[in-house]
Amino acid sequence: MIMIVATCFCESVLAQNKEGLNMTLTAKQKSLIPIAALTAQGELDQLKPALSAGLDAGLSVNEIKEIMVHLYAYCGFPRSIRGLQTFMEVIDERKAKGIIDETGDDASLLNDERSKYDRGKANLETLIGRSLDGPQTGYAAFAPVIEIFLKEHLFADIFDRDVLDYAERELVTVSVISAIGKADPMLRSHLTICLNVGYTPEQLYEFVGIVKTIAGKKEAKAAQAVLNEVLENR
């Protein structure tokens, strides 16, 4: 059963992110990192040019909105909303210069009769490449309600929105976790998922280099240490 899940997982996510097979991140992928990291840190003055650069690199308005929506699950509503407000300013400034940015697609309507918990569990199993049918352990056993919220909201409500694909969401996720720091277990899990969804070690080294220039040397050093551990244990 686990092998079947893993095989289906590989076929679906690699088809979804063929760009991830490249040895370097694309310009669009690179632009996700500073947007997520600077929003998480609340560095709004630096965020404005990063948002413009993201639009210039091919991100649509709706894709950047979705980044901000995704971020609140990891750094909270205050940072997310301030990021959206900053993005509104950037769009207005670009319009004043005669730049009309592509709006992009809205999230598709979901036609799935499964419960949100079951949808979220299935999405998470796809990301990690294995079944989650065993008994709860760790924080999920200690506080079961957060495990329910995690699956029903983050991995169902948010991850089911197809404005961003799984690979893009995971790059956003490791960017914000690296930027806020001191969340090594979560970063370890999501860097592993990054490998699962098609990113190469070279691309993740490149990611750490961007974190260093954007978020800081301390944050990059910590992210590099976790990445080294993940790659050694593959």
Measured CA to CA in angstroms, residue 176 lies from 7, 65, 111, 219 at distances of 29, 15, 30, 11
Domain count across the chain: 1
- Rounded to 10 deg, the angle between the 61-75 and 27-41 helix axes is 40
The answer to whether position 142 is within a domain reads no
Domain of residue 82 covers 2-13+24-102+118-131+147-232
**Model pLDDT, residue 4:** 42
**pLDDT score of 28 more than 60:** yes
Mean pLDDT computed over 32-50: 98
Q: What is the pLDDT of residues 64-121, one digit of tens each?
A: 999 999 999 999 999 999 999 999 999 999 999 999 999 999 999 999 999 999 999 9
Instruction: Find the DSSP H helices in the chain.
Output: 2-16, 27-41, 44-56, 61-75, 77-96, 116-128, 138-142, 144-149, 166-180, 184-196, 201-214, 217-232
CATH of the domain at 160: 1.20.1290.10
pLDDT digits (tens, 9 = 90+) for 192-228: 999 999 999 999 999 999 999 999 999 999 999 999 9
What is the structure's pLDDT at 206? 98
User: Is residue 113 assigned to a domain?
Assistant: no
C-alpha 58 chain-centroid distance: 17
161 assigned to some structural domain: yes
32 is a domain residue: yes
Say if 9 falls within a structural domain.
yes
pLDDT, greater one: 186 or 17:
186
- C-alpha distances out from residue 188 to 98, 161, 227, Å: 43, 24, 7
152 part of a folded domain: yes
